[in-house]
Amino acid sequence: MTINARNFSLEDVQRLFGFQEEYSESFTPVLSLEPLTELEQQELVQIRDDFDRYLTTGKVSKGQVKFLVVAPLMRLAGFYRYPIQITLEEDIADINIEDEDTKITGRMDILAVSKAKRITANASFWILVIESRNSSVAPIEGLPQLLTYAYKSLQYQTSVWGLVTNGQYYQFVYIKHDALIYQLMPVLNFMESQRAIDLLQALKAISQL
């Protein structure tokens, strides 16, 4: 039986892969957040204003979310610089669940890998995997899909960062190989000035790992 990862619920992911959920009230135990420069803050406001103009007119599509917000934020956070490489709409290698006689397929929205860290001949070090939704869908609905993709990378590394967003709200997830724990960070509302700063600080910190 073949199943697409987008059809999974959190219950499915926890049962099939053994994931356990934890909550964190702060980024600081796992990330070192540095102050933004004045220029970075100005660009952040511009990105937010551009997105807000679309948001006030109605639903913003998944493609618009990636183009208007996610891509400029990743550029500002340093994800376009060496040694990071961005790939889009990439198929995951099939995941086979032998006990269930199940094969899982899927496609990641955005994946950032390090070209400086080669794990095997066919596997790069995953830095951040991003799953986006349109603005009318809660980001948490993309979490099962994100965890399924991250599960594949955890065969080769001890942890990976994930991000689920609908453009306005951002849910970071720190996924650890040890006991297959996924740690949910505080949800950030991009339309709130301080939370937007927190968002960019977190992205910058992840890009520098």
- Give start and end residues of each alpha helix (H) in 25-112: 38-55, 62-65, 71-77
Q: What is the pLDDT along the chain (209 residues), one digit of tens a residue?
A: 666 667 788 998 898 889 999 999 999 999 999 999 999 999 999 999 999 999 999 999 999 999 999 999 999 999 999 999 999 876 665 566 655 566 666 678 999 999 887 666 667 889 999 999 999 999 999 999 899 888 878 888 999 999 999 999 999 999 998 889 999 999 999 999 999 999 999 999 999 98
Picking from 140, 172, 170, the residue whose alpha carbon sits closest to that of residue 159 is 172
Contact 189, 195 (CB under 8 A): yes
- Residue 117: the pLDDT is 77
At 112, is the secondary structure helix, strand, or coil? strand
Whether this prediction's pTM lies above 0.95 is answered by: no
